[in-house]
Structure 1
Amino acid sequence: MVYFSLFAVCYSLFLTSVLAQFICVASSTIFGYVSWHWYKKSHPQQGVFILDSTQCRFENNTLKINGHISNKSRVYQSSVWLYINGFASSHWLIINASGVDELSFVRLKRLTLAARHEQAELK
């Protein structure tokens, strides 16, 4: 959000029309809000995550996701980005290492890599 705000202010300083400055600030605010909303949706603060082979389920008070772990999922040093294919839609779910205990995070990384490997073999 800060990035979009700084971009809007810096960019609008070089515009000569007040209307153009307003449009620049308004569009940056809208894009910032949409980005923040996507981030909050894909990076929940709490919830229950159940992983069984390639099937997974995540629930919290605002979000319920069921499906398989896709090939698009990524494993990084301190986070796992899960792309979950559900029956009707797909979702990104980002889990940080600081949010779970170390053993659970290592298990999640292993199962994600195994699920990606299985999906690649099926294709």
Structure 2
Amino acid sequence: QYINSGTAAPIQAGAVAAIRQGEPLVEEIRQRIRTGLDLAYDRLAEIPGIILPAKPRGGMYAFFAMEGESDARLACAKILETARVGLAPGHLFGSSATAFLRMCVCRERKDIATALDRMVAAMN
């Protein structure tokens, strides 16, 4: 029995295009994430009681904690209800992050700004 299998031609063509032309797209995404992270850290810093660790040099998430809030799951639920912004509780990312909330900043700037406007209004 003889079997000859391999990656389909369209996938191979896509891989070649990604290698040859992908860097501008990667840079565009990298810049979008950096802009979103800068915006998130600037706006979150305006909210009293928000604890911001050092801004990461990589990644697409802003981690923050709230003074007096020991249950990040409850904090995420409150923010979802009052500000209509979905965040992830830190316990999902390891025991050292249980007090933190995680916000994805890999979105369009206007979407991040809207979410942060809602959070600032709800938490001030």
- Give the TM-score of the pair, scaled to structure 1: 0.31
Instruction: Determine which structure has the larger strand proportion and give its number.
Output: 1
Bigger fraction of residues in helix: 2
Q: Larger relative CO (CA 8 A, sep 6+): 1 or 2?
A: 2
Q: Output the TM-score relative to the length of structure 2.
A: 0.30
